[in-house]
Amino acid sequence: MEGRNTPAKVCAVLGTVLVWSPILLTFATSVIGSLSSGRFLFDYLMPAELFPAALIGAFLLLWAAFRAHAYLRQTAVGLGAAVLFLFGGQAIAVAGGLASGATPPEGWIWALVIASLVIYTLAVVELGVVGVRLAMKLLRSKR
C-alpha cells in the first residue's frame, strides 16, 4: 500500500517547490541586487513573470490533492484566484491603456492593476502554504 501514495507525494513536494519558486526567487534577486547595487531593488512583477512555474506547480498540487482526498477545495480556489487575478489585471491594463503606454501609470486604473497583482501574489502564497500542508500530510501518512 505504501507505493500507491508515492506519486501523490512526489507531485505534492514538486508542486510546492514550483509554486514557491516565483516568490522565493523574487526575494532572492531583491536581496542580491540590493546588496550589489547599494540601494533597495525589488521587482514586484517577477511573480507574474514566473507564472508558468506557479501554474505547473499548482496543477501538480491539484492532482496530489485529488489523489490524497485532502485540501482539494483550497488548492482549486487558490489556482482559480491566481489565474483570475493575473489575467484579469492584464485585461484591465490592456483595456485601460496602461499596457500600451497610452495611459500613464497613475490613478484608479493603475491602483486596480496593482491590487490585482497583489491578490494574484497572495493566491500563489496561499497555494504554497496549502502545498506545504499537503506534502506534510502525505509524507506523514502510513498509507
- Where are the domains positioned within the chain? 2-140
- Backbone CA torsion sign across 19, 20, 23, 26: negative
Q: Rg (Cα) of the chain, in Å, rounded?
A: 18
Alpha helices in the chain (DSSP H): 6-37, 46-49, 51-68, 72-96, 107-140
pLDDT, tens digit, for every residue of 15-43? 999 999 999 999 999 999 999 999 999 99
Predicted pLDDT of residue 17: 97
Which amino acid is residue 58, in one-letter code? A
- Residues 130/61, Cβ–Cβ less than 8 Å: yes
Better-scored residue on pLDDT, 143 or 97? 97
Mean pLDDT of 80-92: 96
The DSSP symbol for 38 reads S
pTM: 0.90
